[in-house]
Amino acid sequence: MARIRKPIPGVDPKLLIKDAAKLMPDPMRRAFLRGGLSLGALTFLTGCDIVDGASAEKVLLRVSKFNDAVQGWMFNPNKLAPEYPESAITRPFPFNAYYPESEAPEVDGATYALEVGGRIDSKETWSLERLYALPQETQITRHICIEGWSAVGKWTGVRLSEFLKRIGADTRAPYVWFQCAEGYSTTIDMATALHPQTQLTFRFDGEILPRKYGFPMKCRMPTKLGFKNPKHIVGMHVLDKNLGGYWEDRGYNWHSGL
Ligand SMILES: Nc1nc2c(c(=O)[nH]1)N[C@H]1C(S)=C(S)[C@@H](COP(=O)(O)O)O[C@H]1N2
Ligand SMILES: [Mo]
């Protein structure tokens, strides 16, 4: 028998359930959706009674915190993320952004100048030519998106730790903040910035990074969820302050993989 719930002012239960599920990483998310995540289950999981918009927000925050704990065992920052053989590469690789693919920013490689700032010694900008001359390596790793999909890709670029060394970054600073061409941004912790698999990426699957995947440069970190992997990077700052980011400001948990 279907239970009838009284309407809750300011809350669309269907949307709330969808938003909560989005905050959960796979395979947890799938398990919840399969089990028919209900408002009752959300109340139980988070210990919050959902009576209005404010309590619904609180539920989402609790799920996000819970998510932090789950990701503690999904992504361990002290370990290397698994690497895969060429045969495991997902083709075509999914595109994702907060806008459709046709609206991906068009960055001019010829005039591109990466801005670097904050606690670093050398503040001159970096042209693509100078960036491409840095020592590069290739990784085949899994990209995991909070929206419930994952895919294996092949990325080539320079270790972020190597780049930070070249610009004389003070690696005692706790954060690195990335700014992207279309206004996206994200902040990562220094431990992740120095992780050996954290890469400033110039190539995808052997080709110059296509526009949709972040031309001319993205930051690839297989120890973090997809939304912490900024595309179309135009600025990078080594900071004492956590400036958050596009999704972080909208309630996704900050670590997302730490
Ligand atoms: N600049 C920028 N970077 C971004 C995003 C974005 O919207 N803009 N979306 C993030 C999210 S949520 C994901 S899953 C990945 C998708 O990367 P892909 O298109 O290479 O699959 O990019 C991340 N980096
Ligand atoms: Mo994502």
Give the span between the Cα atoms of 37 and 240, in whole angstroms.
Answer: 40
Asked if the model's pLDDT at residue 247 lies above 80, the reply is yes
Q: Which atom of ligand 1 is nearest to the CA of 94?
A: 21
Who has greater pLDDT, 152 or 70?
152
Mean pLDDT for 147-173 is: 94
Strands 233-239, 115-118: pairing kind: parallel
User: Are 121 and 167 in contact, with CB atoms under 8 Å apart?
Assistant: yes
Does residue 131 sit in the same domain as residue 200? yes
Ligand nearest the Cα of residue 94 is 1
Does residue 42 sit in the same domain as residue 151? no
Among 233, 193, 197, which residue's Cα sits nearest to residue 215?
233
* Spacing, Cα 248 to ligand 2 middle (Å): 12
Q: Which atom of ligand 1 is nearest to the CA of 181?
A: 1
The best mutation among 215, 221, 229 to test binding of ligand 1, ranked by most ligand atoms within 8 Å of the C-beta, falls on 229
pLDDT of residue 149: 77
Please spell the DSSP secondary structure of 64-114, one letter per residue. HHHHHHHHHHH--TTSPPP---GGG--SSPPP--SS-GGG-----TTT--B
Domain for residue 255, yes or no? no
Give the span between the Cα atoms of 130 and 113, in whole angstroms.
Answer: 10
Among 48, 51, 55, 57, which residue's Cα sits nearest to residue 9?
51
Burial of 151 (0-12, 13-18, 19+ CB in 10 A): middle
pLDDT of residue 194: 96
Q: Whose CA is nearest to atom 11 of ligand 1?
A: 227
The best mutation among 211, 231, 236, 252 to test binding of ligand 1, ranked by most ligand atoms within 8 Å of the C-beta, falls on 231
Provide the domain limits for residue 24.
13-74
Question: Confidence class of residue 37 from pLDDT cuts 50, 70 and 90?
Answer: low
Q: Whose CA is nearest to atom 14 of ligand 1?
A: 226
| Amino acid of residue 9 | P
Mean pLDDT for 45-54 is: 70
Domain for residue 2, yes or no? no
Does residue 217 sit in the same domain as residue 182? yes
CA 12 to chain centroid, in Å, comes to: 27
Does residue 51 sit in the same domain as residue 30? yes
Please spell the DSSP secondary structure of 158-191, one letter per residue. EEHHHHHHHTT--TTS-EEEEEETTS-EEEEEHH
pLDDT of residue 6: 67
* Spacing, Cα 187 to ligand 2 middle (Å): 15
65: left (phi over 0), alpha (psi -120 to 50) or beta: alpha
Asked if the model's pLDDT at residue 20 lies above 70, the reply is yes
Q: Whose CA is nearest to atom 16 of ligand 1?
A: 96
pLDDT of residue 258: 39
| Amino acid of residue 237 | H
Asked if the model's pLDDT at residue 213 lies above 80, the reply is yes
* Spacing, Cα 1 to ligand 1 middle (Å): 42
Among 190, 13, 231, 191, which residue's Cα sits nearest to residue 105?
231
Q: Whose CA is nearest to atom 5 of ligand 1?
A: 97
Does residue 25 sit in the same domain as residue 91? no
Quote the number of domains for the chain: 2
Asked if the model's pLDDT at residue 58 lies above 90, the reply is no
Asked if the model's pLDDT at residue 66 lies above 70, the reply is no
Mean pLDDT for 31-35 is: 65
Ligand nearest the Cα of residue 22 is 2
Does residue 25 sit in the same domain as residue 137? no
Q: Which residues form ligand 1's pocket by a CB distance below 6 Å? A: 94-98, 145, 180, 182, 184, 213, 226-227, 229-232
Question: Confidence class of residue 193 from pLDDT cuts 50, 70 and 90?
Answer: very high
